[in-house]
Amino acid sequence: MLSAFRRAGAAVREAVRGTGFIEDCYMVAGALTSLLTCGCTGDVSESVRFTGSWSVMDGPGAAGEVADCLGGAVHLAYAQASASGPAAITAGFSAYEAQTRAQARAVALDYLHRLSGEDGERPGVGGRRLRLSDFVPEAPQESLAGVLGTGLLSGAPYRLPAEVVWLGERESLVEPSVSGVVDQGAPAAVAELLAHDVVARWWADPRHPLMRVSAHLDRLLPVSVTAAVSGLGLRVSAFVLVASDIRVAMVMVGGDGAMLAVAAGRTVKAAVGAAFLQAMAVKAQPWDMLTAGESLRRFAVWHREADYAAHLERSAVEADPRLIEEPGGLRPSSWPEIAARRFGHEPVAVDAAGSGETVKVVCPGAACYRAVPAGTTLPCPVP
C-alpha cells in the first residue's frame, strides 16, 4: 500500500523540522499569526510579518482568521470547517477573496476527508461508470467504493472511482490528489487541473518554449505587491507556458523556504497573479498539514531551490512584450470546454451530499493522477 510512501513523507517532515526551517505547529482556529509564521524563519518570517489579523465566522462550526502581510498588499486566510477537520490556508489580493476561498476550501477538504465512497455503489444508482484505468495508466486494482458525479458540460451522471476523489490517509495504491478541490467554483477547479497538466507534461518533456516574464512583474502584479516584494528583498521569478486557449504561469517566491506554484489564466497577467497568490499560501502552510506526496515535492523545491531556479532559467526565453499586454476576452471557450478538448473527456463535478455544493472536479486524461517516475532528478513541483 502507501505505507512506505507515508513513511518517506514523515521522514521528510522530520528532516525539515530538524533543520530549523519550521517549528512544530498545532492547528487551532484563531491562531493564524502563529500558524503562518511556521512556514518560514529568519529574514523571511520578518518579511511576511503581519500588520493585522481578525477572526471570522461563517455559520455553525466554521471558523477562521484573516491576516495582512507584505504591508497589507496580500491577505492570508485560515479556515477550518469542523474541530477535527483539515485546515485550509489561502491567499488573496483582498481580505474578502482570501476569506471566502479559505472557507470554501475548508468545507470541501472536510467533506473529501470524510468521504466513504459508498454512495456510487448503492443498488439502483445510475450513470456511466468510469474506471480507475480511465484516470491512471496501468492502474492497480481499484476498490469497490464509488462516488457520484455530474458532467460539467452534459449534465450526465457518472460513477467515479473513489481513489481519485477522496483525500486523507487511505489504504490505496493511488496517492490522493488535491488537484481540482473547489474553493472558487468549479470552473476555477478545472483551470487548476489544466495548469497542473500543462506543467506536468512540460516537466516530463520540455519541448514547448517556456517564456520568462520576471522582468515584467511590475505590469503583472499589483503595484503594492511589487513595491513590498522589492522593499523586503524577496526573490520572485515568473515563467509562462502558452497552451491552446490558456496561459499557465510558474512563479517561484524565494528566500528561506522557496516555494514554486502554478496557475492557469486567460491572460499572462491573470495566470501570474494567481500563481503568486498560490505561492504565498504555500509558503504559509505548515508542513504538518501536508500529505506525504506533497511533503516530498515541497522538500525537493526547498532543498534544491538553486537547481529548480537554474532549470527554469536555462529552459526559458524572454517573452515577447506583446504577450504581456494581450487583452482578455479573446478566447470565448469555457474552462470545462477547454478541458474537454485537451483531455478528450468532459470534467466531472463531485457534489457534497446534502448541501449540493461542488467540492471537487476530476477529469480522465489529466496528468495529476499519475505517479512520479522513480529516480526523477528534479520532481515536478505539482501533482
Helices and strands (H, E) in the chain, number of each type: 12, 14
Given this model, what pLDDT does residue 326 score? 82
How many structural domains does the chain have?
A: 2
The span from the CA of 1 to the CA of 21, in Å, is: 30
Query: Is there a domain that residue 101 lies in?
Result: yes
Q: 120-124: which pairs have CB atoms within 8 A and are 24 or more residues apart? A: 120/145, 120/146, 120/147, 120/148, 120/159, 120/160, 120/162, 121/145, 121/146, 121/159
Strand order in the sheet with 146-151: 128-129, 157-161, 146-151, 348-351, 358-362
Query: Is there a domain that residue 170 lies in?
Result: no
Same domain, 224 and 318: yes
Last residue of a domain, one of 320, 335, 350: 335
pLDDT in tens, 109-157: 999 999 976 665 555 567 899 999 899 887 777 776 789 999 999 999 9
CATH no. for residue 305? Answer: 3.30.160.20
In this structure, how many other beta carbons lie within 10 angstroms of the beta carbon of residue 373? 9
147 in Cβ contact with 162 (< 8 Å): yes
Given this model, what pLDDT does residue 165 score? 94
Given this model, what pLDDT does residue 38 score? 37
Given this model, what pLDDT does residue 293 score? 77
The span from the CA of 201 to the CA of 181, in Å, is: 20
Given this model, what pLDDT does residue 287 score? 77
Same domain, 70 and 191: no
Helix (H, G, I), strand (E, B) or coil at 53: strand
Same domain, 109 and 222: no
Same domain, 199 and 65: no
Place of cell 477550518: 80
Q: Check residues 232 and 25 and name the one with the higher pLDDT.
A: 232
Query: Is there a domain that residue 375 lies in?
Result: no
Helix (H, G, I), strand (E, B) or coil at 376: coil
Same domain, 94 and 195: no
Query: Is there a domain that residue 96 lies in?
Result: yes
Last residue of a domain, one of 95, 114, 133: 114
Q: Check residues 2 and 147 and name the one with the higher pLDDT.
A: 147
Cell of 333: 471557450
In this structure, how many other beta carbons lie within 10 angstroms of the beta carbon of residue 216? 20
Place of cell 509562462: 240
Same domain, 200 and 325: yes
Angle at 37 between CA 114 and CA 167, to 5 degrees: 15
Last residue of a domain, one of 63, 96, 114: 114
Same domain, 94 and 191: no
DSSP symbol at 324: H
The span from the CA of 263 to the CA of 133, in Å, is: 27
DSSP string, 242-260: EETTEEEEEEEE-SSS-EE
Cell of 71: 504591508
Same domain, 221 and 107: no
Query: Is there a domain that residue 5 lies in?
Result: no
Among 151, 155, 156, smallest CA distance to 126 is for: 156
Domain of 288, in residue numbers: 186-335
DSSP string, 222-246: -HHHHHHHHHHT--EEEEEEEETTE
Q: Check residues 28 and 301 and name the one with the higher pLDDT.
A: 301
Residues 6+ apart with CB under 8 A from 227: 71, 73
In this structure, how many other beta carbons lie within 10 angstroms of the beta carbon of residue 332? 8
Query: Is there a domain that residue 282 lies in?
Result: yes
Tell whether the model's pLDDT for residue 253 goes beyond 80.
yes
Same domain, 214 and 304: yes
What one-letter code names the amino acid at 54? Answer: W
Given this model, what pLDDT does residue 43 score? 37
Query: Is there a domain that residue 370 lies in?
Result: no
298 in Cβ contact with 287 (< 8 Å): yes
The pTM assigned to this predicted structure is 0.85
Cell of 261: 506554484
Tell whether the model's pLDDT for residue 79 goes beyond 90.
yes
Same domain, 86 and 197: no
Tell whether the model's pLDDT for residue 171 goes beyond 90.
no
What percent of the chain has pLDDT above 90? 50
Same domain, 95 and 218: no
Average pLDDT over residues 261-268: 95
Beta-bridged to residue 246, according to DSSP, are 243
Among 286, 284, 281, smallest CA distance to 26 is for: 286
The span from the CA of 185 to the CA of 230, in Å, is: 33
Query: Is there a domain that residue 89 lies in?
Result: yes
Same domain, 216 and 324: yes
Beta-bridged to residue 317, according to DSSP, are 211
